[in-house]
């Protein structure tokens, strides 16, 4: 037999042996879980957790509330809010909102509700929620106009004004050059988004925001606001400290306000659309 044939036979034999060994390994029976085993519900003799009034695995620690988590949105249809959320807009009406038109001679105009969304009507003024919020989780979906109009800060501009003061910018980020701290996903005039995960103009974009309200004692700020923002599921602000209330061409500063304030959506005179808006007021740990 030629050496090359010997080598070929050896390789085939080795491969066959290896596959046999693998098949045998797969057939080896795994141990079954023992469903009869039981465990205690916690402990009362474990060490105390640092800076907490609870022990490790404390049996007395309150159980968190159980809620239904809601469903995801698609481009075609909005998802459902978690069961404990305050639904501010479900595509039907503006019963949870008020607004103050910018120009008195326009009369009592408001934003346009149709086809499951609400659209900015230029000069109708910011849409302001009737309910007020402090620490909260926000879910807001928006779409810049499919037909581009204007450039930079005039293209698809609106904004999520948390506590009516702190703007998470809404803008058309689709091939629309502008200053970084004015892009969608920015804390306007303060921090650009970490990346630009915006979809094409005309498509639905999704904000998920966790907000820690600032704390004032009289006129004095004793704790600044912090915000975490996901745009289309991508982290764009990571527990970022907010410098102050939204302003233009100035360094933002705080102005004292209540412990809770309404959510506002900005009328920047561009027909941006919103849908599926809900808020979960946040409580701390161990407050079921
Ligand atoms: Mg804006």
Ligand 1 centroid, distance to 171 Cα (angstroms): 7
Ligand 1 centroid, distance to 153 Cα (angstroms): 8
Ligand 1 centroid, distance to 170 Cα (angstroms): 6
Q: First vs last Cα of the chain: how many Å apart?
A: 80
Q: Output the pLDDT for position 35.
A: 86
Tokens representing 92 are: 């039907």
Ligand 1 centroid, distance to 87 Cα (angstroms): 23
Ligand 1 centroid, distance to 4 Cα (angstroms): 74
Ligand 1 centroid, distance to 157 Cα (angstroms): 5
Cβ contact 246:257 at 8 Å? no
Ligand 1 centroid, distance to 165 Cα (angstroms): 12
Ligand 1 centroid, distance to 283 Cα (angstroms): 29
Ligand 1 centroid, distance to 184 Cα (angstroms): 9
Instruction: Report the pLDDT averaged over residues 45-66.
Output: 97
Tens-digit pLDDT profile for residues 239-253:
999 999 999 999 999
Radius of gyration of the chain (CA): 27
Ligand 1 centroid, distance to 108 Cα (angstroms): 23
Number of H helices, E strands in the chain: 1, 15
Res. 11: pLDDT tops 70: no
Cβ neighbours for 49, distance < 8 A, ≥ 6 positions apart = 55, 56
Res. 46: pLDDT tops 60: yes
Tens-digit pLDDT profile for residues 152-173:
999 999 999 999 999 999 999 9
Cβ contact 223:215 at 8 Å? yes
| pTM, full prediction | 0.88
Round to whole Å and give the CA distance between 182 and 193: 9
Round to whole Å and give the CA distance between 280 and 208: 11
Closest CA to 161 of 195, 196, 188: 188
What are residue 52's phi and psi, to 5 degrees?
Answer: -135, 150
| pLDDT confidence bin for 4, thresholds 50/70/90 | low
Ligand 1 centroid, distance to 152 Cα (angstroms): 11
pLDDT more than 90, % of the chain? 83
Ligand 1 centroid, distance to 73 Cα (angstroms): 24
Ligand 1 centroid, distance to 20 Cα (angstroms): 66
Ligand 1 centroid, distance to 158 Cα (angstroms): 4
- DSSP helix, strand, coil percent of the chain (3-state; round to 5): 10, 30, 60
Tens-digit pLDDT profile for residues 172-203:
999 999 999 999 999 999 999 999 999 999 99
**Who surrounds ion ligand 1 at CB < 5 A?**
157, 159, 266
Ligand 1 centroid, distance to 160 Cα (angstroms): 8
pLDDT more than 70, % of the chain? 91
Tens-digit pLDDT profile for residues 75-125:
999 999 999 999 999 999 999 999 988 887 888 899 999 999 999 999 999
Per CATH, the number for 86-281 is 2.60.120.560
Round to whole Å and give the CA distance between 67 and 205: 25
Average pLDDT, the chain: 93
3-state secondary structure of 5: helix
Tokens representing 13 are: 């034999």
The H or E element spanning position 17 is helix 3-27
């Amino acid at each position: 037999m030629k050496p090359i044939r010997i080598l070929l036979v050896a390789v085939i034999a080795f491969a066959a042996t290896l596959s046999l060994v693998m098949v045998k390994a797969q057939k080896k029976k795994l141990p079954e879980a023992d469903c009869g085993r039981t465990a205690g519900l916690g402990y009362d003799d474990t060490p105390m957790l640092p800076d907490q009034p609870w022990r490790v695995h404390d049996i007395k620690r309150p159980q968190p509330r159980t809620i239904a988590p809601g469903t995801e949105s698609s481009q075609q249809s909005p998802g459902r809010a978690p069961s404990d959320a305050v639904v501010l807009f479900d595509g039907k009406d503006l019963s949870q909102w008020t607004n103050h038109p910018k120009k008195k001679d326009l009369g009592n105009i408001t934003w346009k509700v149709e086809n499951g969304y609400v659209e900015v009507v230029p000069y109708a003024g910011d849409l302001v929620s009737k309910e007020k919020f402090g620490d909260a989780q926000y879910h807001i979906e928006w779409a810049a106009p499919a037909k581009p109009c204007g450039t930079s800060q005039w293209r698809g501009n609106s904004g999520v004004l948390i506590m009516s003061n702190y703007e998470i910018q809404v803008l058309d980020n689709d091939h629309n050059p502008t200053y970084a701290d004015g892009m969608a996903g920015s804390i306007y005039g303060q921090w650009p988004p970490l990346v630009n995960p915006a979809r094409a103009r005309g498509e639905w974009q999704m904000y998920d925001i966790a907000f820690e309200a600032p704390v004032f004692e009289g006129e004095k700020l004793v704790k600044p606001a912090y915000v975490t923002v996901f745009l289309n599921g991508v982290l764009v602000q990571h527990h970022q400290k907010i410098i102050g209330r939204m302003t233009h061409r100035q360094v933002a500063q705080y102005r004292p306000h209540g412990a809770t304030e309404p959510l506002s959506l900005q009328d920047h005179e561009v027909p941006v659309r919103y849908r599926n808006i809900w808020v979960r007021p946040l409580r701390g740990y161990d407050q079921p």
